[in-house]
Structure 1
Amino acid sequence: MKTKELSRTLGQLDDAAVECDGFVRLATTVLQHLGISHRVVRGSVTGPNGRIPYHFWIEADGLICDYRARMWLGRDALHGVFAPSPFWKYTGEEAQIPPLSESLFLILAGQPLHHVIGQQA
């Protein structure tokens, strides 16, 4: 999946009222249902304007998918789907996160799973 497609897919979840752990739960559910290879990572993020000691993000095709670093590091933090940057250090290990049920996905995302997945057709 290319950066633009991955960004369009995960961007649909950006407005969900969840922090990083909730976001990766939503995102991995969508990506697993679409058969897109990825890994959930738990670790830390360090950038020019601070550090998040405990954070979750997704990695896919050599890209970082992080829609929640700005919650803690402000507007200058990288956001969305992007290539690794020499100014932002993501260090972590893979975390096993099972997909959410459709009802829990709806509660967390504020929209049904089939709506998000259906946008990819």
Structure 2
Amino acid sequence: MSYPQLKNLLDDLDAAKVECDAMSRLVVTRLARQHIPYQAMLGQVELDGKVLSPHFWVEADGCVIDYRARQRLGGDERAPHGVVPREAVQARYAGHQVVIDPLPDYLYEVAVKH
């Protein structure tokens, strides 16, 4: 799936009032429903000496998917927000793959409607 397609598929999730762990779970659920391979990640994000840790994000098709780093790094425009091609990421991500199971339908529907 291309960057624009991933962005189109996921950007509406940004409206959910959740932190990075729950946001990653929403992203994983949406990707799993579309049978798109992904890696859920846990680690840290660093930008100009500011470190955000622990932090969750998702990687898929050469993109970093992170809707919470920017707000938690003080709104810096260089911090990733949303679906960002790996080569355009200006922050340094370090972490390891973790298992995040997709949400059951009833929980997913509640989370994306609020």
Calculate the TM-score normalised by the size of structure 2.
0.89
Matched letter for residue 43 of structure 2: G
Q: Identity rate of aligned residues, in percent?
A: 38
Q: Deviations over 1:17-64 (max 9, x none)?
A: 100000011110110010001110010000126110100001011210
The alignment partner of 2:52 has SS state of strand
Work out whether residues 32 and 99 of structure 1, in 8 Å CA contact, stay in contact via their aligned partners in 2. yes
Residues 1:20 and 1:86: Cα distance change in structure 2 (over 3 Å) = closer
1:102 to 96, 100, 105: 105
Contact 1:49 1:73 in 2 (8 A): no
Q: Which residue of 2 is the match for residue 118 of structure 1?
A: none
- Where does structure 1 lack aligned partners over 5 or more consecutive residues? 112-121
Q: In the alignment, does 2:96 pair up with 1:87? A: no
Q: CA RMSD for the aligned pairs?
A: 1.5
Q: Normalising by the residue count of structure 1, what TM-score does the alignment of the two structures yield? A: 0.84
Q: List runs of 5+ in structure 2 lacking aligned partners.
A: none
1:42 is aligned to 2:48: no
Aligned residue pairs: how many? 111
